[in-house]
Structure formats: C-alpha cells, structure tokens
Amino acid sequence: MEHALNDWSLEVSQMELEDNGTLTVTFEDNSLDSQQKYTNPLSLHFDSDRLQEFITTTNVYRSLESEFKSVMELSGELVTIVNKEGTVERVSSNCKKIMGLAVDEFVGRSIYDMERLGVITLSSSKKVLETLKEVQMTQRTRGDRRLFVRGIPLFNESGSLEKVINFSRDITEESNLQERLREREFEINVLLQEVQRSHSGKNLLVSKAAEIEKVTHLLNKVAQTDATVLFLGETGVGKSAFAKHLHELSPRRAAPFIQLNCAVLPDQLVESELFGYAKGSFTGANQQGKKGLIEAAAGGTLFLDEIGELNLQTQTKLLQVLQEKTFTPIGKTEPVKVDVRFVAATNRDLEEMVETGAFRRDLYYRINVVPVLIPSLRERTEDIPMLIHHFTDKFNGEYKRTCSFSRDAIDRLINYRWPGNVRELENMIEQLVITAPAEVIKVSDLPQKVQRCKEQINLFKGSFKEQMQTHEREILQDALKEAKNLNEIAEKLKIDVSTISRKLKKHGLKLQ
Ligand SMILES: Nc1ncnc2c1ncn2[C@@H]1O[C@H](COP(=O)(O)OP(=O)(O)OP(=O)(O)O)[C@@H](O)[C@H]1O
C-alpha cells in the first residue's frame, strides 16, 4: 500500500546496535492495519561517527527540552505555545486548574474555535497573529476565572512569524479582593458623607451674584415637588453643593441624601451599587447579598453625579426606576417599589451624547425636567471676595490660624481665571492658610499663576461693609504686632478696651 509522507505515523519498533558500532533503527507505520505491519519496515543505519553525533545532539535536545519544561512549569503562569495557524502546540500542566481542560484536551485545538466556543473570551494569540506585536490583555475563562495575559510573537530568522507564546497569570482572587475593597471604600465614603452631613448641619452656600440668587429662588420652588433636577456646569462650580441644598430645602430633608459619583466606579460596580444584588449573584459579590443605594435613599434624595458616565445598560435600568418607581436588584426576579427623589449633575454635553447615541434620549428627557445651570466663577467674580472670606474663616478655625488677605492679593485672586472654579479656590485658600509665613497673606505668597494676573483691571473689591471689615482686620493685626496688652492698643487707636476686645474676638485675633 502506498502512503503519502504525511499519512505516516511512525514509531520506533526496534533498535539494534551491532559490534561495528552501527545502529539500526526500525520504524513501524501505525497508520497501517496490524496485518500490514512489518511488511515494509523502514530501517535507518547510523555508523559510529554519525551515531555519536546523533547521541550528542539528542542529549543537548533532551537537556534543553527538560530545562524548557521546567521553566514552563515553575513559572507558575499558564504557558501556551500556538503555531502560526492558530493551533495550540504546547501548554503547561496547570492548564486543568486554570482553564478547566486537561493538557491533551487543549493541545491541538484551534484558538479560533476556543474563542468561538467561549473557552476564553478573547484570544491573545489571535491578536498577536493579526498584529504581529506583543499584546497584554485580560481574559475571562468559561469557569469565570480572570487572567492577565501577555502574548509574545516569535519570529524565525527570515523575520516571519513562527509561533506565539502566551504567559497567563490567574488574577481572579486578586481582582475579587480589589472589587471587594473598592466596594468597602465606597460604603465607607457613603457613610462618611452621611456623618459629615449630620454634623455640619446646614450646607452653607455663599453667594451674592444675581445669577446664583435666581438659582436659589428656583430651587426653593422645586424643592417642594419631586421633580427631577439636572445640575449643569463646569467642574467645581458647586453642583453637588446645590444638590445637597435642594435636599435640605425639601420635605425629604430628614431622610438620607445619598450621592453616587458615576465616574469613579467600573460599570459593573455602578450597577450593583445602585440596584443591589441577591446573594451569590456574581463572583466576588458579598455572600449575603447587598442593598443598593436606591433602597438606601428611600424617602430621601439620590444624587447621581457625573450621570453622563453611566453605560447604556445601567441607563436602561435607571429609566425603569424613574418611570415605574420600581427596580429589580441583580439576581432577583421580584421588583422592589421605591420612593426616591432623583437629582443628577453633569459637566458633559448630554444633548450631544444623545445625538451620538451614548446617552438614551428618553432618559435625558426624564432627568432634565428642571435643568439648573450653575455659572462658572469667572462669570460671577463678585462672589470671589465673599468666598475668600468664607474659606479663610473655615480654614483659620480648622488649622488654628488667624490669616487674612492683603487687598492686592484679593485683587489678584479676583483676576485669576479659576478653571477649577470654587473647588480650586477652596483648595488654594486651604493651602495658603496652612503655609502662609505671616498672618497677612500677600501677593508674593500666592501661586505664580495667580501672581501673574495683575494686568487685568480689578472689577470688584467687595461691598462697602466687606472692605471695611478687611481694613479693620488689617489695622488690628498691625496693632497686635507692636502692643503688649489691650490697654496699649486702646491707647494707640483711641478706642476703649471693651471695643478692642470685642473686635479681636470677631476677627478671631488675639495677643501673642
Ligand atoms: N457657593 C458656595 N459656597 C460655599 N462653598 C461652595 C460654594 N460652591 C461650591 N462650594 C464648595 O466648593 C467645592 C466644590 O463644589 P462641588 O463639589 O459642589 O462642585 P461640583 O460642581 O459638584 O464639582 P464636580 O463637577 O467636579 O463634581 C465643595 O467643597 C463645595 O462645598
């Protein structure tokens, strides 16, 4: 019977070493049936020199093979070698533990089939074969294990791709722990928010700008209803602060105000945080199941900050809550009824997101019932002196200091553009109160970017009363520097001691 070479399945059936050093190796062709075996055995003869060469090469090969196997096995990673056709040629023995498949079930399989059958979500070898470049990616196995994979192309001497070698690290436990940690951190944050809210009493908002007055007026009206309010405006303008203010004005003020920043958590976590889940719903979930923030905000207000970051799946579930006042926690079938007022904020252009399909139009209409735009700080510079006073008082109290700002320094702060708005101003004042070398903060103490803002005209120096307060404080601070007691100050400024004492108290100043 004739065979093409690649039909043969040869196995050594006999080896004979003759006295003259010649080795005869006989191969059996397993592709033939038993009666045909040995009818035409294939024998190769090696003379002693060739034999020596063969043995040396075989030994080198064996030793390399054993070292290679050790590296594969000892690395602790799942190592797979795939040829250029996409067929697995070798795999390390931890394959069963990680992929749920024995070595011989894995070797010989096509990566394209495995991807199609869901043995792995995404094949790194496929990506390497397509791009001819090293890739790094995370994969999920059918058994829901998560792997971090590095796929490396191996090229032959003429530069063509020969094989792909993949090193996969099982990161399931690591990522479960990370997710649980994130969940805990998140819960702590929600609790902290609640504690801060109940301790700080009212959420003090400082402003005199006509635009903000209009906002406050509108909020006073809508607070009495359950209408959904969407706060718009640049980052740091006070959208969250106004959302809290709205809650405090509303009949829901005694119930929780819960805030979720949709941008800080990964998609799956946002969904589970919002809607909660039944026990054992997904890998890494809390064993007992968990109540979502929607339920936690029952009777109160749920504020969804950066709502533009929600993915489409969560948007759909949220729409159901807004429309039907019910939702279904992950892994449950029974819907839960809720009584929550929804408030949202974004600094993204939601209308544009609707046009590009990134945000659901119906959800946009639902949350945009009362849009409220908070103007940037550059558009209401009249608020800057007030805010400076407000934050200076706040941080003087916190850091036990008695700082104030020179008039020139206030002018520079008014002229600065404030890209980070009120938050940036608040942070800067805190930093200056901590680091200022003297009680009066001067232009030279300000950050360089603010010091440079002198060319512009000073549009506003504060009201008459505010300017008088600033002067009064500066006069007292100067007097305190030189005087040893209150009588000396009273004498110098020609006012009585009780007035001095009262004014010092008002400005939080005292004798050194
Ligand atoms: N009018 C105000 N009076 C006093 N403090 C304010 C005022 N506006 C904002 N703040 C304070 O400024 C900081 C930033 O405000 P907030 O976090 O509300 O901004 P935001 O617009 O929600 O920001 P982001 O878009 O980044 O979420 C907060 O500490 C807030 O208390």
Burial of 54 (0-12, 13-18, 19+ CB in 10 A): middle
**How many whole angstroms separate alpha carbon 307 and alpha carbon 456?**
37
Q: If you measure from the C-alpha of residue 91 to the centroid of ligand 1, how many angstroms do you get, rounded to a whole number?
A: 56
pTM higher than 0.90, yes or no? Answer: no
Size (the chain), residues: 512
Distance CA 383, CA 209 (A): 6
Do 242 and 192 share a structural domain?
Answer: yes
Same domain, yes or no, for 233 and 139?
no
- Give CA–CA dist 332/310, Å, rounded: 22
What CATH number corresponds to the domain at position 402?
Answer: 1.10.8.60
- Kindly give the distance from the C-alpha atom of residue 211 to the centroid of ligand 1, in angstroms, as a whole number: 16
Give 267 Cα–ligand 1 centroid separation in angstroms.
25
Q: Identify the domain containing residue 121 by its residue range.
A: 75-170
According to the model, what pLDDT value does residue 193 have? Answer: 61
Report pLDDT for 203.
Answer: 61
Residue that finishes a domain, picked among 331, 358, 375: 375
At 285 the pLDDT is 54
Residues with CB under 6 A from ligand 1: 205-207, 233, 235-241, 305, 345, 347, 390, 422-423, 426
The whole-number pLDDT of residue 192 equals 66
Same-domain pairing of 367 and 272: yes
Q: How far is the CA of 258 from the centre of ligand 1 (A)?
A: 16
Per the structure, how many domains does the chain have?
A: 4
> Nearest CA to 45 among 19, 16, 12?
16
**Position in ligand 1 atom list of the atom nearest CA 383:** 1
Element (H, E) at 284: none
Q: Are residues 152 and 225 in the same domain?
A: no
The domain that holds 254 is classified in CATH as 3.40.50.300
Q: 301 forms bridges with which residues in the sheet?
A: 257, 341
pLDDT tens digits, 173-189: 888 888 778 777 767 76
Nearest CA to ligand 1 atom 26: 235
Q: Is the ipTM of this complex over 0.90?
A: yes
pLDDT of amino acid 292: 87
Residue at which a domain ends, from 62, 83, 107: 62
pLDDT tens track for 33-52:
555 544 455 666 667 777 77
Low-confidence ranges of the chain (pLDDT < 70): 1-12, 21-23, 27-46, 186, 189-190, 192-203, 280-288, 455-463, 512
